[in-house]
Amino acid sequence: MAAEQADAAEKDITSQQQAEFIQRMKDEETLDVNFDTVAGLRSPENPRFLVEIIDTFLAHSATVVARLESEINQPIPYYGDAVRDLFQLKGSSSSMGGGRVAAACLELRRACDDSNKPRCLECLKKVKDEYQTLRDALNEISRMEMIILDQNVPTPSSSSAVVN
Amino acid sequence: MAQQGGSSSSGGSRILSGGSINVSPMKPLASLKVLVVDDEPMIRTIHKAQLVRAGINDVEVAANGKDAVDLHVNGATFDLILMDLHMPIMDGCQATKKLRAMGVKSSIVGVTSSGGAEKTAFLASGLDDCVSKPFVLQQIAHYLKVPRSPTNPPKYHNP
């Protein structure tokens, strides 16, 4: 009984810590209200939704950022390809609450439209920095979410282990 | 609302004795069919989850405009299509024009983070509306509650 109470307290503390962390990220403007929309899609039918969507976003966006870097760092940047990738990164980051990443993408897009390579390189650094900050925040939220989920997994009853 | 003369019900609409047909009433959410068109897997997942959360269980996805058109060529019909703008192979503008040219009467709502001239052109391709990405359900609630009547033209279509 005492152990169960201690476990329950641990879960509560972890959920609270996650909520406080998310609020801190919003106060720092690393995340915006759009994150709440995604987090709100968790359900008893799909408890791992947030973890899975963060994983999907991080895997896909890392590829897009790497492509952007390659496109901008060409002797003559591939501006058209970069704009295409910027649309993707802007949209997906916005959906995850990464408004600052989206804003940085917009600046880089303008530099691409002007075919201004020095400005592109400057804006690319900003995109990468903001993306890294968002990535770190989402990784931490996902880590906390996994702990909370693990603590909620019911243990199998001993009777189920009976072998006929 | 008082009825004039006799009436009969058919498929949810009501035919009055004078032969006029009321606009079909709203369909239950659970019976709506929605198509989400976006090249980003994460966006498709989020949009689908939002719709399922709202009570719509029949949600299909397509990764680009061509796939969306092909679904219709193969006979699929939808009450609502959520269409991204920037997609490979066939973008949202081209897909919407194609669908309207095919006679598709579904409500088509553009979902894009683009603005200005791009958004204006997207609207003019045959959309009923355009919302920013990411959208919240309230922005498309109208199209979930009242599927467009066959006699109503698209809101922004310029043939």
| Residue A156 DSSP class | P
Nearest alpha carbon to residue A149 among A20, A59, A14, A56: A14
**What ipTM does this complex have?**
0.78
The answer to whether residue A102 neighbours chain B at the CB level (below 8 Å) is: yes
> Chain B residue closest to A81 (CA)?
B88
Q: How far apart are CA A60 and CA A46, in angstroms?
A: 21
For position A4, what pLDDT does the model report?
A: 67
| Test the A interface: residue of B37, B38, B40, B44 with most A CBs within 10 Å | B40
Q: How far apart are CA A90 and CA B118, in angstroms?
A: 15
Can you tell me the mean pLDDT for A27-55? 93
**Is the confidence at residue A29, as pLDDT, over 70?**
yes
Q: What is the pTM of this model?
A: 0.78
pLDDT tens-digit series, residues A3-13: 666 666 555 55
Max Cα distance, chain B (Å): 55
Q: How far apart are CA B104 and CA B80, in angstroms?
A: 11
Secondary-structure breakdown of chain B: helix, strand, coil percentages, each rounded to the nearest 5 = 35, 20, 45
Question: Ranked by mean pLDDT, which of A80-84, A124-128, A158-162, B7-11 comes out on top?
Answer: A124-128
Q: How far is CA B77 from CA A39, A145, B34, B59, B138, in A?
A: 31, 38, 9, 12, 23
Q: Which CATH class is domain A14-151?
A: mainly alpha
pLDDT tens-digit series, residues A72-123: 999 999 999 999 899 889 999 999 999 999 999 999 999 999 999 999 999 9
Burial class (CB in 10 A: 0-12, 13-18, 19+), A114: exposed
**Is the confidence at residue B5, as pLDDT, over 60?**
no
Provide the angle, in degrees to the nearest 10, between the axes of the packed helices B116-124 and B92-101: 20
Can you tell me the mean pLDDT for A19-30? 96
- Write out chain A residues lying below 8 Å of B43, CB-based: 91-92, 95
Can you tell me the mean pLDDT for B43-59? 91
Of B39, B46, B133, the CB nearest to A38: B46
The CATH number that domain B27-145 falls under is 3.40.50.2300
Would you call B40 and A53 a contact, using CB atoms and an 8 Å cutoff?
Answer: no
Provide the residue type at B36 as one letter.
Answer: V
Would you call B41 and A60 a contact, using CB atoms and an 8 Å cutoff?
Answer: yes
For position B99, what pLDDT does the model report?
A: 97
Least confident of A2-6, A19-23, A36-40, B148-152: B148-152
> Chain A residue closest to B88 (CA)?
A84
Q: When comparing pLDDT for A113 and B149, which is higher?
A: A113
> Chain B residue closest to A45 (CA)?
B53
pLDDT tens-digit series, residues B69-92: 999 999 999 999 999 999 989 999
Would you call A49 and B49 a contact, using CB atoms and an 8 Å cutoff?
Answer: yes
**Is the confidence at residue A52, as pLDDT, over 80?**
yes
Would you call B134 and A37 a contact, using CB atoms and an 8 Å cutoff?
Answer: yes
Would you call B46 and A95 a contact, using CB atoms and an 8 Å cutoff?
Answer: yes
Beta bridge partners of B33: B58
Q: When comparing pLDDT for A135 and B21, which is higher?
A: A135
Would you call A34 and B49 a contact, using CB atoms and an 8 Å cutoff?
Answer: no
For position B18, what pLDDT does the model report?
A: 38
- SS3 category, A9: helix
Buried b (16+ CB within 10 A) or exposed e, B15-36: eeeeeeeeeeeeeeeeebbbbb
Closest CA–CA distance from residue B16 to any residue of chain A (Å) = 44
- Write out chain B residues lying below 8 Å of A44, CB-based: none
Would you call B133 and A94 a contact, using CB atoms and an 8 Å cutoff?
Answer: yes
Q: How far apart are CA A28 and CA A51, in angstroms?
A: 22
| Domain residue extents for chain A | 14-151
**Is the confidence at residue B58, as pLDDT, over 90?**
yes
